[in-house]
Chains A and B, each alone.
Chain A
Amino acid sequence: DIQMTQSPSSLSASVGDRVTITCRASQGISNYLAWYQQKPGKIPTLLIYSASTLQSGVPSRFSGSQSATNFTLTISSLQPEDVATYYCQKHNSAPWTFGQGTKVEIK
């Protein structure tokens, strides 16, 4: 099975900072990569799919990019409401594997 490796596992940044989370696939998955946000005590919500397509209603400060098997989620200006754990997920074939998650906190 293809493994999804996320980094870092956690980060702390100031409001307004640019935040970057990376996800590496152990094999090629084309652009079938999604990002989810899970706020504390809440269910996950889809932010981005197909590596860079912003889900409807998601603020434009979130963006996704790809370079081969390396994927990046960027928050251009961190806001207090962005405190959450972020997960990447491959969605090209079974299993729909998630990364381990990145916990984002405000400094």
Chain B
Amino acid sequence: QVQLVQSGAEVKKPGASVKFSCKASGYSTYYIHWVRQAPGQGLEWMGIIDPSGYNPEYAQNFQGRVTMTRDTSTSSVYMDLSNLRSEDTALYYCVTSLSAIRWSPFGYWGQGTLVTVSS
């Protein structure tokens, strides 16, 4: 059974950075996406990292603030988000692709990491 376990909740001040982790088990090394959901809002795609950890691709809204990396030896994926602002308060999910094909829909979701940005 595929399982994605994410890091715990964070509280950050505006301007700070946060690092998310996502550890996978029970599946082959598929693509990993990051998606966020602000309170009461819809789903927003942030980016994708491929099985090798090379060539991450980011949504335009996050260019320059987000960095995604992958440690294949520990089956872990990381996302750094910098220069936080109050609008970044959200639940952040890591999600696998459904298959090894890049253009797959989303398969399994992590439990989410809540980030609260407040002064």
Q: List chain A positions with a Cβ less than 8 A from chain B.
A: 1, 32, 34, 36, 38, 43-46, 49-50, 85, 87, 89, 91-101
Contacts and interface: CB of A to CB of B under 8 A. Distances in A.
Contacts of A101: 42-43
B103 A95 contact: no
B112 A43 contact: yes
Interface string B27-52: 00000010000000011110010000
B103 A49 contact: no
A44 B108 CA distance: 9
B105 A91 contact: yes
B60 A1 contact: yes
Given A44-B109, A49-B98, A98 B103 contact: no
A96 B98 contact: no
A78 B98 CA distance: 27
14 contacts: A1-B60, A36-B43, A43-B109, A44-B106, A45-B109, A46-B98, A49-B98, A87-B43, A89-B43, A94-B59, A96-B45, A96-B106, A97-B45, A99-B42
B45 A98 contact: yes
Contact of B43 (A44, A46, A93, A94): A44
